[in-house]
Chains A and B, each alone.
Chain A
């Protein structure tokens, strides 16, 4: 007993350090997790999280049965999968291409330029997109008119254009910054490998394929798992800003739906229902992370846990 208390006594200052973060995480992360129970309840303004009546799976059934369910799910999946397909390979190809050039100053300049858009906020990014694509005053409108002689349609109001604008504006903003990790991996390639390949008569292109690509493969795997785990978390911030009444058909995703049903409907805010929708999304996400992690552990022996 005395031994035990001595063991803890040695570390009391460290536990003191941990006290504040643990309390913080308990309040701001775990209490909301307990609050998720309202998705199985009927929370009204008159009652609290605790005394609201249980309703079982009613909220989930309402969401699954609602006429919007299929559209919202489809929009979320389309935007996510399209984002991964376009945004994932781009930085890798960019890093490989730029790295093939052996002029350091040129490389640095291109890198510096392509990192810039990463620091632009979502609000500014969306407004730049709006301005550039403006049918009358934007670059797009002016060029379209100069070439075809007529005024283009407003792209922001066409539902079928929304996924493309959303995904490619993200690629524009982030491909440079996301390539940093691959540049770092490429810079650690042993130069002797390249020299040996050169002596064997391998062209620069062959060396990219057989030296550079294998060298960054582990990094690619890790990044892919990380990316897969965020597949269903289509960020609220950008989609919400790009939405307008005309493109809602393809731009309404789970997170924006949750916000609108739960917090932006004034008196008809339905906390329980939108928490249920959110929980549905989180569970799908959790499944995706677990599955992609398991697959990658089996296939490549690299995994997050």
Chain B
């Protein structure tokens, strides 16, 4: 839209003054500099992951891989915990996202309906949770008392609802689905339940996509709930394993399954960190180009609050 406008106006454009030219030069240099600053650490990590362990631990790698090898990735792939935690994370992310969206939608739809008695009370009931919460310990005690510690439910259920997301979905439904549609279907004898599944859900695709994306990324990237509620290694998600390997440096000789080369362990451990970072982040970054168009939409939907 903007692009078309700009090209249409081009012939009549007044020539940039010298002051403008300095200003543009400034804008270009600043933004390019920022992009470089963002990219440098990322390129560094990727380059390290393809370099040899010795080159990494002696600080030879700066921008391009030195002594190109796939050793780091071979180690990562052989590390059994990586695969199990990957599977766990995928399970928690898909399960958690589906549950979250279901709860948010079934709360948002009735509250978007005009004329529902006591709607204000329900809204207050949900909104209050945005201002105040019980905090870390009471939530922990609740999960413990419910007996879901160290089960997959501890990862799926706490955090399965967000009042903020519910308000976003509700505003979307109110603004984009016309009241006349409801009236027309009611005349034809359509029940509220059927209206929800047949009309509200299909017409809310955009908001569902945006919220799913945000929730899924948040679950994929978080480690806190797992740290609190899971002590069993077998259930640990990827981020917790990453923390163990990357930050606590707990890679032992037996974990590497090949205890013969204990000498090369240090260089290998460094190298493995880089490969693991790339290995764990690539899936999220692969989704990124496909969902980029939803960002602006998502933020716009979120910012119009009713």
Binding site for B on A (CB under 8 A): 7-8, 11, 13-18, 20-22, 24-25, 27-36, 38, 49, 94, 97-98, 100-102, 104, 106, 109-110, 112-117, 119-124, 126-128, 130-132, 136-139, 141-142, 145, 172, 175-177, 180-181, 183-184, 187, 191, 195, 198, 203-205, 219, 222, 236-237, 241, 255, 258-259, 262-263, 271, 274-275, 278-279, 281-282, 286, 289
Across the interface, do B136 and A258 meet the contact criterion of CB distance under 8 Å? Answer: yes
Q: Is there a chain A Cβ closer than 8 Å to B306's Cβ?
A: no
Interchain CA distance A278-B242 in the complex, whole Å: 28
| Residues in A neighbouring B138, C-beta threshold 8 A | 31-36, 38, 275
Chain A nearest CB from B1 CB (Å) reads: 8
Interface of B is mostly: helix
Across the interface, do A49 and B141 meet the contact criterion of CB distance under 8 Å? Answer: yes
Across the interface, do A97 and B110 meet the contact criterion of CB distance under 8 Å? Answer: no
| Residues in B neighbouring A28, C-beta threshold 8 A | 139, 142, 157-158, 160-161
Q: Which of B24, B139, B217 contacts A100 (CB 8 A)?
A: B24
Interchain CA distance A132-B42 in the complex, whole Å: 10
Interchain CA distance A181-B42 in the complex, whole Å: 25
Across the interface, do A25 and B126 meet the contact criterion of CB distance under 8 Å? Answer: yes
Across the interface, do A11 and B116 meet the contact criterion of CB distance under 8 Å? Answer: yes
- Nearest B residue to A290 via CB reads B131
Q: Which of B57, B110, B277 contacts A18 (CB 8 A)?
A: B110
Kindly specify which of B27-35, B72-80, B172-180, B257-265 makes contact with the partner chain. Answer: B27-35
Chain B nearest CB from A40 CB (Å) reads: 13
Which among B107, B125, B138 has the highest number of chain A CB atoms within 10 Å? B138
Known contacts A100-B27, A131-B48, A131-B274; A94 and B246 CB within 8 A of each other? no
Q: Is there a chain A Cβ closer than 8 Å to B113's Cβ?
A: yes
Known contacts A131-B273, A139-B62; A258 and B247 CB within 8 A of each other? no
Chain A nearest CB from B100 CB (Å) reads: 11
- 20 A-B residue pairings within 8 Å (CB atoms): A17-B196, A24-B161, A25-B129, A29-B134, A34-B134, A36-B134, A101-B24, A113-B38, A114-B38, A119-B281, A120-B284, A124-B246, A142-B59, A181-B299, A181-B303, A203-B17, A219-B303, A241-B243, A258-B136, A289-B131
Q: List the 3 closest A-B pairs by CB distance, nearest first.
A: A32-B134, A35-B138, A121-B221
Chain A nearest CB from B226 CB (Å) reads: 11
| Residues in A neighbouring B20, C-beta threshold 8 A | 203-205
Interchain CA distance A123-B20 in the complex, whole Å: 43
Interchain CA distance A295-B258 in the complex, whole Å: 63
Interchain CA distance A124-B274 in the complex, whole Å: 10
Chain A nearest CB from B241 CB (Å) reads: 9
Chain A nearest CB from B201 CB (Å) reads: 12
Chain A nearest CB from B82 CB (Å) reads: 14
Interchain CA distance A62-B280 in the complex, whole Å: 43
Interchain CA distance A13-B136 in the complex, whole Å: 35
Across the interface, do A97 and B135 meet the contact criterion of CB distance under 8 Å? Answer: no
Interchain CA distance A71-B39 in the complex, whole Å: 36
Interchain CA distance A279-B106 in the complex, whole Å: 31
**CB proximity to A under 8 Å, residues B222-259:** 222-224, 228, 239, 242-243, 246-247
Q: Which of A27, A119, A184, A198 contacts B288 (CB 8 A)?
A: A119
Q: Is there a chain A Cβ closer than 8 Å to B70's Cβ?
A: no
Given contacts A22-B122, A29-B129, A195-B9, 16 further A-B contacts (CB under 8 A): A21-B106, A29-B134, A35-B141, A36-B134, A94-B34, A101-B27, A115-B292, A119-B284, A121-B281, A124-B242, A136-B59, A184-B296, A204-B20, A237-B224, A241-B247, A278-B137
Q: Which of B16, B32, B137 contacts A271 (CB 8 A)?
A: B137
Across the interface, do B5 and A191 meet the contact criterion of CB distance under 8 Å? Answer: yes
Chain A nearest CB from B289 CB (Å) reads: 8
Across the interface, do A128 and B41 meet the contact criterion of CB distance under 8 Å? Answer: yes
Interchain CA distance A180-B300 in the complex, whole Å: 10
| Residues in A neighbouring B61, C-beta threshold 8 A | 137
Q: Which of B191, B193, B277 contacts A127 (CB 8 A)?
A: B277
Chain A nearest CB from B80 CB (Å) reads: 19
Q: Is there a chain A Cβ closer than 8 Å to B83's Cβ?
A: no
| Residues in B neighbouring A128, C-beta threshold 8 A | 41-42, 45, 277
| Residues in B neighbouring A109, C-beta threshold 8 A | 35
Across the interface, do B228 and A263 meet the contact criterion of CB distance under 8 Å? Answer: yes
Interchain CA distance A157-B41 in the complex, whole Å: 20
Across the interface, do B19 and A139 meet the contact criterion of CB distance under 8 Å? Answer: no
- Digitize B130-174: 1 where CB-to-A-CB distance is under 8 Å, 0 elsewhere: 011111111111100000000000000110110100100000000
Chain A nearest CB from B243 CB (Å) reads: 5
Across the interface, do B23 and A205 meet the contact criterion of CB distance under 8 Å? Answer: yes
